[in-house]
Amino acid sequence: MPFTVLVGLQWGDEGKGKIADYLSGEFNIVARFQGGANAGHTVNIGKKSYVMHILPTGLLRQGVKGGVGAGVAVDLETLCAEIKVVEKASGPLRDRLIVDERAQLVLPFHKLEDKHLEESEKTVRIGTTQRGIGPSYRDRYARYGVRIGLLRDEGLLAKAIERSLSFNNPLLEKVFGQPRLSVDEVIEAILPYRKEVIPFLGDLSRFLWEHRNEKVLLEGAQGTLLDVDFGTYPFVTSSHCIAGAASVGAGIPPYLINRVIGVTKAYTTRVGEGPFPTEMDEELSARIREKGVEYGSSTGRPRRCGWLDLVALRYAVRLNGATEIMMTKLDVLSGLPEVQAAVAYETPLGKTKDFPLYGLESVKPVYRSMKGWGIFTGERIPHEALEFIKMVEEEVGVPVTLLSYGGDRAEVIRRRVIAEEF
């Protein structure tokens, strides 16, 4: 059975958590393949709200098995807290969860460094969540990282931490002006979680291969425009957020993937610093923010709001090889006399429909205006809203197969394939 990848097509916060939770009822296994505690996926079930940072949201459904791939940066405190929350919601995870032993840890000094880099007046502020994700990925590629599987052996764990501190302590002391940390201090900070985590450690890559004939959903974090290579660099995250990363982060052959679902809002949001061509004026942005509850699920920071950027969306669809789009929050735009979407950019070199490799801060969006719509419910989608969806499909070249409105997992509308309509 082919694997499905779910990715964000914007700067994150597209509503992937709700979509992944909804779709997980159709899958046997769900797995996260990158990111860490800097990504929050929100799921509302009845009156209860869950925010998942490391575990895949599909585990909130009883019977669904899940995994945390080698590509994820694991904060042990966050992981253990989420395990308890999920077990309370959907039952024991002992036979349902595998955390790949090759996943790497976010350690106390990573958080100290991240906080200093973000708050220092001497560095360019990226807008990170200060959860230590960037420094953890840096150590991974510099080969000073500490793998979670070493929790099984305290001796090997101590040696790995000592090696990591040989690189990080000079940074803490000489660059960040922080006191050096000892191996014992770091171990003391993570050992309380050791017994809780060890029962879930395993080889997720092998598990997925052995279950390759089952229905598997690979859940990505953040969004395409935050990808460390293909996003709006340097205002990006520290991992690969595109569909191709699912193969690497989960440890499966690329040919097992033949369906890529891209998630987008009906408008655009961005958290933190960086260029944002379609950003709305302050008054309208505040209106959309309050109606759409546009506050970071990990940090609570208010999100910047803008019109849908179809230039960026086309770029993201191409990069991911998206086979379909699932759109969220179309209802948030209800009540506006008109809605807009950027279909091209004006650049210093002229008009283009291509997303630039650099210089995004200098482009001006070319908008297409459409008539707004009124009340949007699961029983009634205004004609004007359907025209908006049709326009999006024509511009990006792939179908919109699901609409999400409201916050609850049940508030979705699937496309009726036979009738080719919602």
Q: Give the other-Cβ count within 10 Å of 283's Cβ.
A: 7
Please, are residues 64 and 101 in contact by the beta-carbon 8 Å criterion?
no
Measuring CA to CA, which residue among 141, 148, 132, 146 is closest to residue 38?
132
Instruction: Give the Cα separation of 338 and 328 in Å (integer).
Output: 18
Instruction: Give the Cα separation of 245 and 240 in Å (integer).
Output: 6
Instruction: Give the Cα separation of 409 and 422 in Å (integer).
Output: 18
Query: Given 13, 75, 100, 227, which residue is catalytic?
Result: 13
Catalytic-residue membership of 309: no
Q: Give the other-Cβ count within 10 Å of 177's Cβ.
A: 9
Instruction: Give the Cα separation of 240 and 147 in Å (integer).
Output: 19
Catalytic-residue membership of 211: no
Task: Indicate left, alpha or beta for 378 from its phi (over 0: left) and psi (-120 to 50: alpha).
Answer: alpha
Strand duo 338-347 + 350-352: pairing: antiparallel
Measuring CA to CA, which residue among 12, 6, 4 is closest to residue 227?
12
Query: Given 41, 110, 116, 240, which residue is catalytic?
Result: 41
Strand duo 400-404 + 257-265: pairing: unpaired
Strand duo 65-68 + 29-32: pairing: parallel
Instruction: Give the Cα separation of 226 and 240 in Å (integer).
Output: 8
Q: Which residues are catalytic?
A: 13, 41
